[in-house]
């Protein structure tokens, strides 16, 4: 039996996000279809950020047909990185990752960075590399500011990886029959804005990323007034997170997540 529309609610949960003049962000759990936002005391600015549509690890040392690792703890690496469940993440997939291995992420739109929640920290000295698929069909280097680095090691602490927004990012297919980036038979299909993450030296023996969500490409955030509850409906095919910031001071944003039967 199909859902009745408007689709009835089947779950309500809540959390908070500490706000200040430094940007804060939060991924929406995969089963959240609507959100209520309320700040009792301070005006804030807010963006809805693009959804993570796919996540695939490329293991260069694996045999042909097994190099693209798409399955995580729940049989979907994308789901494990987007579900806000810290029990699921990259698990052992990235352990001892070499400079020939990459984490590929596909987003619904152009992004200006990612938020990375670390489960098991990397302790090996290395810097992050990031490339995007340019409209001339090449992988082009970004210059990331890495907020996950500590003691010379990337993916050492939870933080944001950001870069200057680009205007020539191409929506492309990694694999598939229509002008694919890769000709590997097991390369992931699906069109979107692909990001390639790498590292300058091998990773440690126990490295896990729990969560990843997108940061916005610009600062033209909407204006939201204090003392007003805002109800937003989410197109989960396009939206995966939000970010908020205050002009000054600090406050706490109350976030109520609603799941409907759809």
Encode the chain (262 residues) as per-residue pLDDT tens digits.
Answer: 454 456 788 899 999 999 999 999 999 998 899 999 999 999 999 999 999 999 999 999 999 889 999 987 778 999 999 998 877 899 999 999 999 999 999 999 999 999 999 999 999 999 999 999 999 999 999 999 999 999 999 999 999 999 999 999 999 999 988 889 999 989 999 999 999 999 999 999 999 999 999 999 999 999 999 999 999 999 999 999 999 999 999 999 999 999 887 6
Domains 9-49+217-260 and 51-215 share a fold: yes
* The pair of three-digit structure tokens given for residue 86, joined into one six-digit string: 């810290």
Where are the strands (E) in 28-101, listed by range?
34-38, 44-50, 52-58, 68-69
Please calculate the CA angle 66-72-78 and round it to the nearest 5 degrees. 100
119, 92 Cβ separation under 8 angstroms: no
State which fold the 51-215 domain adopts: Jelly Rolls (2.60.120)
Q: Whose CA is closest to 248, among 47, 41, 49?
A: 41
- Can you tell me which residue has the tokens 């939206």? 239
- Record the tokens describing residue 173, joined without a space: 């297919």
Domain 9-49+217-260 - what CATH class? mainly beta
Show me where the domains of the chain are located: 9-49+217-260, 51-215
Instruction: Determine if the pTM surpasses 0.85.
Output: yes
């Amino acid at each position: 039996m199909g859902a009745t529309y408007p689709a009835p609610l089947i779950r309500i949960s809540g959390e908070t996000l500490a706000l200040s003049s430094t940007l804060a962000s939060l991924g929406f759990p995969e089963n959240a279809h609507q959100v209520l936002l309320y700040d009792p005391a301070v005006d804030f600015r807010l963006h809805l950020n693009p959804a993570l549509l796919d996540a695939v690890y490329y293991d260069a040392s694996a045999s042909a047909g097994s190099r693209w690792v798409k399955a995580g703890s729940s049989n979907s690496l994308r789901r494990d990185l987007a579900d806000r469940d810290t029990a699921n993440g990259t698990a052992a997939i990235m352990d001892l990752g070499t400079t020939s291995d990459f984490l590929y992420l596909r987003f619904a739109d152009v992004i200006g960075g990612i938020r990375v929640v670390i489960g098991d920290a990397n302790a090996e000295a290395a810097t992050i590399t990031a490339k995007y698929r340019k409209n001339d069909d090449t992988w082009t280097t970004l210059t990331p500011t890495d907020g996950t680095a500590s003691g010379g090691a990337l993916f050492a602490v939870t933080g944001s990886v950001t870069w200057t927004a680009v205007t020539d990012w191409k929506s492309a297919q990694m694999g598939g029959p229509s002008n694919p980036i890769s000709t590997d038979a097991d390369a992931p299909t699906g069109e979107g804005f692909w990001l390639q993450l790498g590292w300058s030296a091998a990773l440690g023996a126990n490295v896990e990323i729990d969560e990843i969500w997108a940061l916005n490409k610009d600062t033209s955030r909407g204006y939201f007034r204090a003392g007003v509850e805002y109800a937003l409906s989410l197109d989960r095919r396009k939206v995966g997170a939000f970010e908020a910031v205050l002009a000054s001071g600090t406050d706490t944003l109350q976030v109520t997540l609603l799941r409907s039967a759809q």
